[in-house]
Structure 1
Amino acid sequence: MDSALTSQLEEGCRILNVAQQPQDQPQLLAYLELLIKWNKAYNLTAVRDPAQMVTKHLLDSLAIAPHLRGQRLIDVGTGGGLPGVPMAILFPEREFHLLDSNGKKTRFLFQVKTALRLDNMTVHQARVESFAPEAPYDTVLSRAFATIGDMVGGCRHLLGPDGHFLAMKGVYPEEEIAVVAESCRLEAVHELHVPGLDEQRHLVDMTPR
């Protein structure tokens, strides 16, 4: 892996105060290497530049780490594994399920799980509305849902009694939050600062009413 990318990730992790275990950053870089390689054939992400991938994918995902809740989490519409794979690397003691309906993307994720030996990560290929988990989740996490309303409507059946929705968003999604005000209680909106990214990022934390 390019030393400039390694330095970029190290500096970003230092600023965010995450990925401090000896295995974390090598694992994150190994994931990035797989993402770059498979992206050429599988079109996993529109971001092609490796340095941009570090910022817009790895560090963007890692920024939510302090706000994760619960022991059993599901990343819905995970795509190429964001933020699910970085979170599984960071928190080996937690259980992460990654759900996507796209077969190419889930095949890639099975490869990541095997190559990185992520025993705490389970991959599911299914549409969210038809997915029936063995047990409910503490947190439903998503970076890719079109709206918070869609997320709440489509994923409510996945949550346990005290479960949380964590929605990764760009600008503060005032209108989207208002749409679900009757069905969800807003617990917090965390403003995230992603190193090297000159764009707004927010993490919306909600619980069903």
Structure 2
Amino acid sequence: MPLSIPADVREHLLRFHGLLIKWNKAYNLTAVRDPLEMVDRHLLDSLSVLPHLHGEEILDMGTGPGLPGIPLALLRPDAHFVLLDSNNKKIRFVRQVVLELGIVNVLPVHARVETYQPNHPFDTLISRAFTALPRMIELTRHLRAPGCRLLAMKGMVPEDEIAGLPAGMKKEVIRLQVPLTDAERHLIIVE
């Protein structure tokens, strides 16, 4: 991946990876069990969307164990990230990661998207495996700043979901290049 990652950030990514492996054994945070597989399926997959982030206020919806939010926040210290999930066990893990790694630009929040009431709207909303695009648009009206970008990370291109988006919304499909994996990965950008 064409990323320049400072040594201290690489160290934080590796520490996050280690915490994910450790906590996953006891708390079932992710179905991926193989530590090497976690590198491409979680870390590299998360970082593949870095060039598409917009603005400084970013909401990771359905973050689970902090994916893609933690890796992105480590590489974008200039931005503020809210990592949102309705699963308290996973948010407890994210809080522990933020504490242990001293990440100052991440706020973990235990809430559902439809009930979350932030102090400010967001420039970018991102999700990895949250819900279908039309439902995502419906649930996030109260969270979007003017010019907000919605980034939906998907496997195969969800043609039916894209077709179900409201008319007039600008849509772009980008094939993501994730090293070490042959799986199809796409980013759907909706403005």
CA distance in 1, matches of 2:72, 2:39: 15
Which residue pairs with 1:150 in the alignment?
Answer: 135
Unaligned stretches of 5+ residues in structure 2? none
CA distance in 1, matches of 2:131, 2:86: 15
User: Deviation digits for residues 24-44 of structure 1, max 9, x if unmatched?
Assistant: 211101001000111111110
User: Deviation digits for residues 137-188 of structure 1, max 9, x if unmatched?
Assistant: 00110001131122111112111111110100111122111101426321x2
1:25-40 to 2 correspondences below 5 Å: 25-40=10-25
Q: Partner letter of residue 177 of structure 2?
A: H
Unaligned stretches of 5+ residues in structure 1? 1-15
Match of 1:182 among 143, 167, 170: 167
SS in 2 for 1:184: coil
Query: 2:73 matched to 1:66?
Result: no
Q: Is 1:74–1:96's contact at 8 Å kept on the other side of the alignment? A: yes
Greater helix content: 1
Match of 1:90 among 72, 75, 86: 75
Q: Is 1:84–1:98's contact at 8 Å kept on the other side of the alignment? A: yes
| TM-score, L = length of structure 2 | 0.97
Give the CA deviation at 1:19: 4.7
Cα 1:19–1:58 shift into 2, 3 Å: farther
Q: Is 1:18–1:65's contact at 8 Å kept on the other side of the alignment? A: no
1:46-57 to 2 correspondences below 5 Å: 46-57=31-42
CA distance in 2, matches of 1:19, 1:38: 28
What do you get for the CA RMSD once the two structures are aligned? 1.1
User: Deviation digits for residues 86-129 of structure 1, max 9, x if unmatched?
Assistant: 00111111111100011100100000000111100001000111
Q: Is 2:134–2:166's contact at 8 Å kept on the other side of the alignment? A: no
Which residue pairs with 1:205 in the alignment?
Answer: 189
Give the CA deviation at 1:71: 0.7
Q: Is 1:189–1:203's contact at 8 Å kept on the other side of the alignment? A: yes
Query: 2:62 matched to 1:110?
Result: no
Which residue pairs with 2:178 in the alignment?
Answer: 194
CA distance in 2, matches of 1:63, 1:169: 12
Tell me which moved more, 33-42 or 17-26. 17-26
Equivalenced residues, count: 191
Q: Percent identity?
A: 48
SS in 2 for 1:135: coil
